[in-house]
Structure 1
């Protein structure tokens, strides 16, 4: 019997926070005496428990009936839509289906997975279960029938580029299937801070910002050491605003003011009103409305070819073999390889092997391997961007004072500035790696972080302080002491910075974006270290998003978009250009594939 593998895309959006997640019907409440003691290790009844997730406590209600786990309700959680809340939905379902605690975490949602599993484990312990036995219990796996599907366009990868490509292809009248090896959609886009660079005269004029397409083009090309393909750069900047407008047509709302994300070099970064995950939400809603099929936990292993043209793929889907035929084309949107230490070592031997990454665990270069096997040329593979803003423990971009460059400054462990904060990302990272322990503190104050203010990852300043990710103090001297710095050195650094803001000139470091003084208590600091962030190299494409061979010939039926491609950013990517890239070229790949005869 064929397994049902199509996952309802509602798992990404929705309703999970509104009330409860009900898997089956439940019975009594905590405090009720278990109704019946049955044979075995568990007592029938209803048990409540909670554990710490990524964004606070996860509270559940678990029902045991006749020595079986019959129901798990999630009563409360604050996990991120499209990332952590996927674990909140899927893990209870797996526990009930397998009657065990031997279930996999959801990739990309480690802390949320641990939280929900911790709460379930606590409830089962209260019920008298043999928890250690349940952790090792093996679920029975029935043999699964092979699957065959067909569509006009097949998209490999359900991150931002893949979702944009799918929506675009559907708008052109093509039938579309999207696959992703992960248990959730969104890829790195769901984890990003959400900055989208585009020259936008209407918004920028209101802020007194002078900009032009030529300026964006020049900064992008020069910012990548002139090692990008000028035609691809021109296509990116010329179509970036059109991408913003396309997303607005899909229902995404942007804030009225643009800003400068770290490493963007100019104030043209657009931020959605729903800052964290807004891009994926808008694309996902469009996919749902258009009934585009998404197959999760479905991994492509190889591209199928016929007389040099790519005509489909073979892989696995939740344990079953799967073949999908593409009548018009296959779009590779599998992301980069920053999460693969092996590939990082292969292409960039100077990068520390133990460097953590901001990327989700699925960014392991699969599309590069498949594309090269089909004859694709790889360009710029040694260009890897490390970001100086990773969590010291996990490498994650969450958990810090993430707003525009206008709102913060950097100091090392001695309390001194060491680089202009509006520099290129590679320059900032190189400077940071030369500091003690390769660590710095991002400093901000209450001019930016007023009560209730959220960073770019939807985390409030109160939550950041409560979690210990951000340190707060009522005076600069107190903050210096909490950071184990000499208060005299730290306060002198702040005073010199404030003087630069007043004069509009930073004589020592040359910072150009000088808008806000650090003079309003409370003051805040968050520790940051280098982290592998973006791989600029990949499959060579043209402006139609068609994949090219080493001889610069088009591979019929093969398209690519997003971080799996190379040649767009050169040796260094400007902050805010990645989201523009995935939308502009994702949209282009979908349209090109749909138009192929």
Structure 2
């Protein structure tokens, strides 16, 4: 019995010793350092190449993050580049939401910081669970008032805001995304307008009537002729309006994909930054009478006595009630980014469920839903435009190597041409769907890129695209064909036939009539493209004053709309280059009329 007691006591002692040792080990583990102090470099893959960061850590804290190198798109990626490092430091972790509209840039930063912290010996999975703390939204309701409230901070909304202020109104702009710009910011920014001075310098004959006819017939005569006439008559005066505020356009005009004529103006600043910067510079100069609220989502139009008098919205700080003295302008863009909605209305294409889009993430049709809820009439909703120019991985227009319609051809996976490359966008896209894997190559030569640092319409140099594997370069067509895996003989024959038509000026077998240079001067280039959802021609019905009409064709007092959220202008097919003209012209008209509204 005594022996048993001695054994039991010994076991208890051993158990206590082991327990103490375990506690000591646990304590040591909990007090262990999180990082090996120092500075570490990490890299991540962004939309335009590598993003490189430097992360500084102490034993238990991330103290600094610097973005050393990146080629991300100006304006689009700014919030990710500037804000994400601060959020990571605040959270002391990697469980940070990506910035809406800059997802790939955000992921690149998170990947780069994660790689750097891994070098510092961090537990990456544990860091991914740490998120930036946010105060819960206030339960209070904040009220604001202005003469004009604009829903949407893209090109149409900002044009309307500036125009309204120029006509004497105080203005509040609501933008649900973390930044202004919308689709305008990431567009190729080609703007169609008949411009005698610039066009005559290039030997281009044009007229406003021709622009009208091509727009009307290009949409199969479904567009409202009165709205189209407003568009083409005011396209160039609106360019002059933009120039009066400091915006600059290049002197040389071009034919944009599906534009049908060389009347497209290219801004000096890349992408759509010229438009957005012009408007925002004006707004900043007049900030006592103009306010822009980002991260603020409009949810409902406020009606009183059958008139729109304001907007309900939500922000990180709680609910907002925005009262308008004169009018509310809807400029929220289309619904190409809303898969469910485009599937609901699509009648003209194969399933759009799995197609990517060129649009920014905010293009989800919110304005259409708000307008419909108060009886606004929606027209042409089934008219959804696809482009044959999507990036195979993202659906975006970035990486598109073409510089103008006249100087490139499309070939399929066999190396054969299959369509008139100067045709309407729907014609080209339908032809692309009939090719193997709905896939094509854009082929051009050094006429488009005299040097490797020449940039496309998305501010990407051809050398950068080749380095990143998004374009291919060769000194011969045969070598180019081998690089991209197509039949060399077919490619050479396709180019030779094209060059023959350039020489003779004759219409080719596909009906092509737009030519400028032969494809005959090395280096030769190729870029891959697929169909992508681009523009929704349907939307809110408006009159020539940009007033919203109800289901009975009557004006809804106090409500205006402009831009892609509207329908009735482009018919079945929008001409390339007409969107920037549309949003600018009708944004300006909506702002002016809303400012003067006395209904």
- The reply to whether residue 100 of structure 1 matches residue 96 of structure 2 is no
**Normalising by structure 2, what TM-score?**
0.91
C-alpha deviations, 1:455-509, integer Å up to 9, x for none? 0000001001111111111101111122222211111111110000000013311
Q: Separation in 2 of the partners of 1:394 and 1:76? A: 22
Distance 1:40 1:308 in 2: 65
Partner of 1:3: none
Q: Deviation per CA, 1:346-397, whole angstroms, max 9, x where unpaired?
A: 1004442211111111111000000111211001000001001101121110
Distance across 2 between alignment mates of 1:45 and 1:79: 27
Q: 1:513 to 1:134 in 2, by over 3 A?
A: same
Structure having the higher Rg: 2
Report what 1:67 is aligned to.
60
Q: Which residue of 1 aligns with 2:509?
A: 508
- Following superposition of structure 1 onto structure 2, how do residues 95-244 of structure 1 map, counting pairs within 5 Å? 95-145=88-138, 146=140, 147-244=142-239
**Relative to structure 2, which stretch is displaced further, 148-157 or 450-459?**
148-157
**Is 1:523 the equivalent of 2:524?**
yes
In the alignment, is the contact (CA less than 8 A) between 1:344 and 1:351 conserved in 2?
no
Aligned to 1:356: 356
Distance in 1 separating the partners of 2:401 and 2:281: 30
How far apart are residue 45 of structure 1 and its match? 4.1
User: What secondary structure sits across from 1:420 in the alignment?
Assistant: coil
1:280 aligns with 2:267: no
Q: Which residue of 1 aligns with 2:414?
A: 414
> Does 2:275 match 1:271?
no
Measure, in 2, the Cα distance between the counterparts of 1:507 and 1:429.
19
Shift of 1:148: 2.4
The 1:137–1:275 alpha-carbon spacing in structure 2 relative to 1, beyond 3 Å, is closer
Are 2:325 and 1:327 aligned? yes
Q: Residue 564 of structure 2: SS of its match in structure 1?
A: helix
Indicate the residue corresponding to 2:24 in structure 1: none
Deviation larger for 315-324 or 531-540: 315-324
Q: Give, in angstroms, the shift of residue 66 of structure 1.
A: 6.6
What residue number does 2:341 align with? 343
Aligned counterparts, 1:365-384, within 5 A: 365-384=365-384
Instruction: Rate the CA distance shift 1:496–1:550 in 2: closer, same or farther, 3 A.
Output: same
Q: Is the 8 A contact 2:222 2:572 kept in 1?
A: yes
Aligned residue for 2:113, secondary structure, equals helix
Matches within 5 A, 1:447-526: 447-451=447-451, 452-526=453-527
Q: Which moved more, 1:87-96 or 1:579-588?
A: 87-96
Q: Secondary structure at the match of 1:563?
A: coil
Q: Structure 1's 504 and 178: CA in aligned 2 closer, same or farther, altered over 3 A?
A: same
- In structure 2, the gaps of 5 or more residues are 1-29
Cα distance in 1 for residues equivalent to 2:508 and 2:429: 21
Q: CA deviation at 1:139?
A: 4.2
Give me the CA root mean square deviation.
1.7
Q: Measure the CA separation in 1 of the matches of 2:439 and 2:317.
A: 43
Residue matched to 1:32? none
Distance between the aligned counterparts of 1:289 and 1:472, measured in 2?
46
**What is the match of residue 295 of structure 1?**
293
Q: Distance in 1 between matches of 2:463 and 2:263?
A: 28
Q: Residues 359 and 534 of structure 2 are in contact (CA less than 8 Å); yes or no, is this contact kept in structure 1?
A: yes
CA distance in 2, matches of 1:65, 1:323: 46
The residue that corresponds to 2:18 in the other structure is none
Measured against aligned partners, the alpha-carbon deviations of 1:17-50 in whole angstroms (never above 9, x if no partner) come to xxxxxxxxxxxxxxxxxxxx98542345443433
Instruction: Provide, for residues 154-175 of structure 1, a one-character-per-residue CA deviation record: whole Å limited to 9, x for no partner.
Output: 1111111111111111211211
**Residue in structure 2 matched with residue 26 of structure 1 by the alignment:** none
Alpha-carbon distance in 1 for matches of 2:47, 2:217? 39
Q: Distance in 2 between matches of 1:351 and 1:362?
A: 24
Q: d(CA) in 1 for partners of 2:576 and 2:350?
A: 20
Rounded to whole Å, the distance in 2 between the matches of 1:165 and 1:342 is: 29
User: Which aligned pairs between 1:33-48 and structure 2 lie closer than 5 A?
Assistant: 40-48=33-41
Which range moves more in the overlay, 501-510 or 529-538?
A: 501-510
Change in Cα spacing, 1:314 to 1:40, as seen in structure 2 (3 Å) is farther
| Cα deviation 1:557-576 (Å, max 9, x = unaligned) | 11111000000101100000
Q: Secondary structure at the match of 2:583?
A: helix
Distance in 2, Cα, partners of 1:550 & 1:298:
29
Structure 1 gap segments, 5+ residues each: 1-36
Distance in 1 between residues matched to 2:414 and 2:41, nearest whole Å? 47
Question: Which string of whole-angstrom CA distances, capped at 9 and with x for unpartnered residues, describes residues 544-569 of structure 1?
Answer: 11111111111111111100000010
Match of 1:562, SS? coil
- 2 CA distance for matches of 1:438 and 1:47? 44
How far the C-alpha of 1:441 sits from its partner, in A, is 0.7
Q: 1:17 maps to what in 2?
A: none
Q: Is the 8 A contact 1:505 1:514 kept in 2?
A: no
In the TM superposition, what is the alpha-carbon distance from 1:60 to its structure 2 partner? Answer: 2.5
Aligned to 2:558: 557
TM-superposition CA deviations, 1:277-297 (whole Å, max 9, x none): 222222222222222322111
Report the CA distance between 1:123 and its aligned residue. 2.6
Aligned residue pairs, count:
561
Deviates more, 1:116-125 or 1:327-336: 116-125
Q: Which moved more, 1:140-149 or 1:451-460?
A: 140-149
2:52–2:67 Cα contact (<8 Å) kept? yes
